[in-house]
Amino acid sequence: MIVPLTIFLIFIILYTMFRSFKWALLILANVALARVGGLLALYVTGTYFSVSSGVGFLALFGVSVQTGVIMLEYINQLRVRGYTVADAAVEGAILRLRPIMITMLVATLDFFRRRFLTRSDPTRSGHSRLSLSVA
């Protein structure tokens, strides 16, 4: 119940920010793809979905929304400057890819650290599932 509510609230915030259903849905498509990756990671490792995994997915949704907003905002700025849609998308991807990848890399490395350092300690298994669903 909490995950659909969270996605709906994210949609409302995105719609308020961009004043467009199209842009809000585009960013939420990013969230849907992130969810597929998180579920695949849980499946491949044989980890079950739990409360910790759910919290990890909420963090993953936040990171994927952040990435989408950064890209879309910059692409829209380029379009205002007179770039075509295709040129703005390519230029935006080239100029914003590095900051986005560095942000994602730092978060992912932290979650991998949590995942592998807590593996041997059964009292910290919740951190492990949370880390796996986000990373």
Domains contained in the chain, CATH given: 2-134 (1.20.1640.10)
pLDDT at 125: 53
pLDDT at 66: 85
Q: What is the pLDDT of residues 26-84, one digit of tens each?
A: 998 888 888 888 888 888 878 788 877 787 787 887 888 888 888 899 999 999 999 99
Query: String of b and e for 81-102 (b: at least 16 CB within 10 Å)?
Result: eebeeeebbeebeeebeeebee
